[in-house]
Amino acid sequence: MGKHKFDVEYDVVVVGGGGSGKSAALTAAKEGGLKVALLEKMEKTGGTSIYAEGTCAFESSEQKERKVPPKAGELNQKHYPTREEGFRRYIDYSHHRANPEVVRMFVDNSAETIDILKSLGVVYTDVTIYAYDQPLELNTFHRPDGLGERVQELLLRACVNAGVDIFTSTPAKQLLTSDGAVVGVLALDSKGNAMKIGAKAVILATGGFGNNPDLVKKYSWQYRVAYHTYQCVPTQNTGDGLMMALEVGADTDSIGALMIAPCARGKTLSSHSSGAGAQPGLWVNKTGRRFASEEVAMSFADAGNTVAKQPEGVVYSIFDADTVKHLMEEGSDIGLGDFIRYKQKLTHLQTELDQDVAEGIAWRGDTIEELAKNIGLDPEVLAATVAEYNDACEKGYDPLFYKPARFLRPVRKAPFYAVNMAPSVLVSCGGIRVNGNLQVTDRDYKPIPGLYAVGMEASGLYGDTYNLDCPGTANGFAHTSGRVAARHAIKTIKGE
C-alpha cells in the first residue's frame, strides 16, 4: 500500500480492549502524553481479562511484604520465587520452546505491574498458588479483591481519565501499510461504516484465536476437537489480530497452544455439577474405558489437554451417591481456583444434578448398566471398567495409571451419575512472533515498523501448553506486555 487518506489520525491505535490493550493504551497516553485510540469490537471492553482471577509476578512489593506464602510448609514451595526461578521455570516447562527475550521481559517487569495496578486502586487479598493441592506451582498468584472484573473496571476508568479515545462496537479489519511500515488501521464504526485511522504505532491486543474453530483446527494440535469444544465464558477471541498481522508479513512462532479447562458441557466453571465432574474420580471416554490417571485434575491445564485428546472431546465423570454426599458435606477433593475452591462444600450438587438429568445434560442410573444405557455406552464395557476400578479402590492401588490412593474413591452405591466433561477453550496462547520489545517480526525475524502484539496475541512464553506452574501468567503477561510495548512505541515515536 502507498499513501493513505485518513479519516482521523492518532499517535497510537490499540486494537482490543482487554487487559493487555488497556494497559498499552493507558501507558501510551499517561506516560507518553500521546494521542491514543482504543478499538474494541464488542459493546464493552474487558475481554478474557474479566474472567481472570490472579496476576503472576515475581519479587513484587506484595510478595516482599508477606515474606512467607500462606500454608508454607504444607507444600513443596515454601517461599516466594525469584525472577531467576521464574525465568527457569518458563524455559524448562516449555521444553525450551519459549523465547528467552520475551520471558526475560516478563519476569523483569512483572513486579511493576502489581505496583501500577495498586496505584489504580487494586487491592490484593492474597499472594499464593492457584490450586492449594498442587505442589508444583510457584507462589506467583496475586489475587485481587473483586478479581479480574474489578481490575478491568479500574483500568478502564484510568484510560478514560488519561484521555484515551475508546471506540466500542468498532472492529478492526485491516492494517494499513506504507513502504513496509504499519501506518494505520481500517475499521468499521458502530454503524458499519468503514474508516481509516492513521497511527504511528499499532498495538494488536485482540486475545488470540481460541474462539475460532477454523483456526483451532488449522493451527492447534487439538484439531480433532476443534468443533467439539464448549465455550464456558462468552468471549469472542477469533484471531482478528493474527489474520491482520499475517497479511502484512508477520510470522508465527509456537502457534497452536490453547488454555483449556475441563467443564461440564452446558454449565459454568462455578457450577457444582461441573465441579463434581472435575474431581479426580472415575473418568471414561466414549469407549466406556478409563484413559488416564484422574489425578491430572489437579492442574486444569493438563486436565484440559487430557479431555481434549479423547474422541470428540467427550469424557464422562462417573460417581455414586456416596461421592455426592462426600462432596456436599465434606467438600471438594481438589480446587479450581475461585470457581471451585479447595475443600469447598458443593451444597447445590444434588439439586443441580437432578436438574441436569431432567434436561438431558447429565445421566442417572440405579445400576451401572442402566447408567451406561442412558448415556449411550456399552453396558458390559462400562460395568467391567467400574468393577476393575472398584477393585483398585479396595486395594488402594491403581495398576493401570498409578493414581494416588487418596483419590481412589469407589463407585458402589446407587444411584449412579455421569457428567459430560468437555474441553473449554479459554484462550489461545500466542501465535504472532515478537521480540523482547513486543515488536512483531517478519519471516526474516526483522521488526515490522509500527506494529506490536501483546497479551495472548504474542508468542514467547509457552511451548504447547499453558504454564500453570506459574499461576496468573496469562493475566500478568497481558498487563506487563501491554505496558512494555507502549513504552517502546513512545520512545520510537519521540525519537528517543
Q: Residues 152-173, buried b or exposed e (16+ Cβ, 10 A)? A: bbbbbebbeebebbbbeebbbe
The candidate with the shortest Cα–Cα distance to 414, out of 367, 468, 474, is 367
Task: Report residue 145's pLDDT band, with 50, 70 and 90 as the boundaries.
Answer: very high
Contact yes or no for 216/417 (Cβ under 8 A):
no
Our measurement of the distance from residue 5's CA atom to the centroid of its chain's CA atoms, rounded to an integer in Å, reads: 39
Task: Report residue 479's pLDDT band, with 50, 70 and 90 as the boundaries.
Answer: very high
Task: Report residue 197's pLDDT band, with 50, 70 and 90 as the boundaries.
Answer: very high
Grid cell locating 272: 457444582
Pairwise CA distance, residues 470 & 477, whole Å:
11
Average pLDDT over residues 182-201: 96
Q: Indicate the average pLDDT of the chain.
A: 94
- Total length of the chain: 496
Supply the pLDDT for residue 73: 46
User: For the chain, which domains are there?
Assistant: 8-210+233-254+429-494 (3.50.50.60), 258-425 (3.90.700.10)
**Helix, coil or strand: residue 286:** coil
**Percent of the chain topping pLDDT 70:** 98
Maximum separation of any 2 CA atoms in the chain, in Å: 76
Q: Indicate whether 373 pLDDT > 70.
A: yes
Burial of 361 (0-12, 13-18, 19+ CB in 10 A): middle
Supply the pLDDT for residue 335: 82
Task: Report residue 254's pLDDT band, with 50, 70 and 90 as the boundaries.
Answer: very high
70-117 pLDDT tens trace: 765 455 567 899 999 999 999 999 999 999 999 999 999 999 999 999
Rg (CA), the chain: 24
Grid cell locating 424: 473449554
Supply the pLDDT for residue 133: 65
17-41 pLDDT tens trace: 999 999 999 999 999 999 999 999 9
Supply the pLDDT for residue 201: 98
Task: Report residue 1's pLDDT band, with 50, 70 and 90 as the boundaries.
Answer: very low
Q: Indicate whether 132 pLDDT > 80.
A: no
Of the listed ranges 225-234, 435-444, 464-473, the one predicted with least confidence = 225-234
Which residues, in sequence order, are bridge partners of residue 263?
422
410-467 pLDDT tens trace: 999 999 999 999 999 999 999 999 999 999 999 999 999 999 999 999 999 999 999 9
Burial of 380 (0-12, 13-18, 19+ CB in 10 A): exposed
Q: Indicate whether 236 pLDDT > 90.
A: no
Q: Give the sign of the dihedral formed by CA 470, CA 473, CA 475, CA 481.
A: positive
**What is the model's pTM?**
0.94
Pairwise CA distance, residues 477 & 137, whole Å:
17
Integer CA distances (angstroms), 492 to 18, 80, 293, in order: 24, 36, 52
DSSP, res 27: I
Q: Indicate whether 198 pLDDT > 90.
A: yes
Q: What are phi and psi of 202, to 5 degrees?
A: -120, 130
Supply the pLDDT for residue 71: 66
Supply the pLDDT for residue 269: 85
Supply the pLDDT for residue 2: 55
Average pLDDT over residues 359-369: 97
Contact yes or no for 197/165 (Cβ under 8 A):
no
Task: Report residue 231's pLDDT band, with 50, 70 and 90 as the boundaries.
Answer: confident
DSSP, res 82: P
The candidate with the shortest Cα–Cα distance to 469, out of 342, 301, 309, is 301
Supply the pLDDT for residue 74: 54
Pairwise CA distance, residues 108 & 469, whole Å:
18
Pairwise CA distance, residues 55 & 125, whole Å:
12
For residues 57 and 270, which has the higher predicted lDDT (pLDDT)? Answer: 57
